[in-house]
Every structure is written in C-alpha cells, then in structure tokens.
Amino acid sequence: MRIYRFLSPLLLLVILLLASPLPILAAPPVSAQQLVKEMVYNELQDREHDSFWSYRVVRTTPEQTIVACQVETGNGPLYRILSRNGVTLAGEQLAQENARLDKLFGSPSALAHNRAQHRDDEQRLQRLMKLMPDAFLYDYEGASDEPAIRISFRPNPAFVPQTWEARVYHGLAGTVLVDRRYKRLIDINGKLVDRIDFGYGILGHIEKGGTFEVRREKVTETHWKTSLVNIQVDGRVILFKTVSKQQREERSGFLPVPTDISLERTRQILDQALTSGSACFAQGGSPVHK
C-alpha cells in the first residue's frame, strides 16, 4: 500500500506529461549574413517592377535648402522647385523656374538625358546592393527576433573591390535596420572607417569619417520608397578637383501615379503643387491613382 501511494502521483505525473502536447520549438534564426542576403534579394526584385510615385522633396546642401514637388515618369524623375531657403518662389525666380520646365518638357534630348542619368543612378545602386552580402561581415545587435532587427556591418577583408565606387562602398562600417517580417531595408547608416586613396593618393582621396545614410519606408503592402538620403563626404580626386558631396534629401507624401503618365499630366501635377501647399497631387486634394 505504501508503494502504491508513492507510485500513484509519479504515474499520474507521467500520464499528464504524455497527454500534454509537446512545445513547438521555434526554428533557430538565420544568420545575420543570410538575412542581409535575403533582404538584398527582395530589394532588387522590387526594383524590377516599375511603380511611379509623386512626393514632396526637401533637399539641403551647404548652399541652400529647396522644397520641390517631384513626379517619377518614364523620362526619369521630373520636379518643380516650390521654395528656396524658406521663401516661396515668386516674381523673377518663379518665371525662371517656369522657363526651365518649359525648356525641359519641350526638349526630347533634354528628357532623354534626364532618363539616361536616372537609369545610370539606378544601375549604380543595383550594383552596390548586389555587393552587400559579400563586401561586409554582419552581426546581430540585440535580439534577432525583434520586428525591426539592427545588424552591424564592417568591411570583409576577403572582398576585393573591382571599381572605384566599390572601393568607397567597401570602406564603410555601420548598421543596417531590417524589417524582419518583410525582409526589407528600413535604414542603412555607414561611416568611412579609413581614408580612401586613388592611385596611391596621386589621383586623389576621400577623407575618413564621411557618412552615408539611406532610409526606406513602406508605402503600401508591396512597395517601399526611399524617404531619406543623407551623404556627407569630402575629398580631392582626379587632378585635385574638390569632391564635396554634402547633401540631405528627405521625401514624404508618397502617392502613386500611372506608370504610363504623360508629360502633360506630369506638368499639371507640378503646376498644381504651386497652390496645394507643396503637396504633389491634383488640386482639390485628390490623389492621382494608378
């Protein structure tokens, strides 16, 4: 009887354990290197599918701050300056801006040049994005299961850059913020850890300490747009010409426009921005839908 009384609770416990469902163990998180690789894949895939947007731009350089309305088109992004250094364009300045737009919209060669510049910028960005998994080494900063995961990066000593832009890119160290659910880039913030010399310094250099930041935001369930580009670098390259890329550009108020938007409709949106509080949509507050 004493043995029975001793075993009964033990047997009961075993029975309860066997009857209870086993806990489902979460799969171990992927490495930071793998997560960045998947994020880069998603970013590049998104860029393969055209989607055009209008938005407000605030661009700051050492010389001035301008506010503009910008519309993405098949001819590249087209913009109208609305204010400069906090003063709304009027009088002679407004007339000059209207003349610039008239000349641009009426010149197939100028539009082609704008389109080519935009294409080159996009191709350069894609080249650099493709280098991310190999050019750097990555480590998680904090928990790897947070909705937004911060990952530190540093130059991979095994990576050999093949172009001057890849050399500058490879000289960065900093952090990447990744949306864990969508595996998309939220923010990348880098700093040049060493001075970059070209031709052993004879052809020039870019100073150590320069910074670079790009921020992205989700504008629909399937689309992300760049909301901030902030570049602050200094140096002297190619026959001692000064390179000073100090520019901060913020973008907001994203609204979709048709991918086949005409030049006429684009000009209407830009002109209507003059009376719509710097927003880039049709007068009366109605967004331009796809």
Q: What angle is formed at CA 112 by the lines to CA 108 and CA 115, rounded to 5 degrees?
A: 140
Q: Give whole-number Cα distances, 139 to 142, 149, 174, in Å.
A: 9, 11, 11
- The rounded distance, in Å, linking the Cα atoms of 163 and 145 is 36
pLDDT range class, residue 48, cuts 50, 70, 90: low
Give the residue extent of every domain in the chain.
29-275
Query: Residue 13: its pLDDT value, please?
Result: 31
Summarised one tens digit per residue, pLDDT across range 121-164 is: 889 889 999 999 999 999 999 776 678 999 999 999 999 998 88
Exposure b/e, 121-150, CB count within 10 A at least 16 = b: eeeeeeebbebbbebbbbebeeebeeeebb
Exposure b/e, 36-67, CB count within 10 A at least 16 = b: bbebbebbeebeeeebbbbbbbbbeeeeeebb
Q: For the whole model, what pTM was predicted?
A: 0.81
Query: Residue 117: its pLDDT value, please?
Result: 93
Most confident of 41-45, 81-85, 220-224: 81-85
Q: Is 97 helix (H, G, I), strand (E, B) or coil?
A: helix
Q: Kind of pairing, strands 204-206 and 184-192?
A: unpaired
pLDDT range class, residue 270, cuts 50, 70, 90: very high
Summarised one tens digit per residue, pLDDT across range 193-211 is: 988 887 766 667 788 998 9
- The rounded distance, in Å, linking the Cα atoms of 48 and 50 is 6
Share above pLDDT 70 across residues of the chain, in percent, rounded to a whole number: 80
Q: Is residue 253 within 8 Å of residue 246, measured between CB atoms?
A: no
Instruction: Indicate the average pLDDT of the chain.
Output: 83
Query: Residue 277: its pLDDT value, please?
Result: 60
Query: Residue 25: its pLDDT value, please?
Result: 34
pLDDT at 240 over 70: no
pLDDT at 44 over 60: yes
Query: Residue 66: its pLDDT value, please?
Result: 96
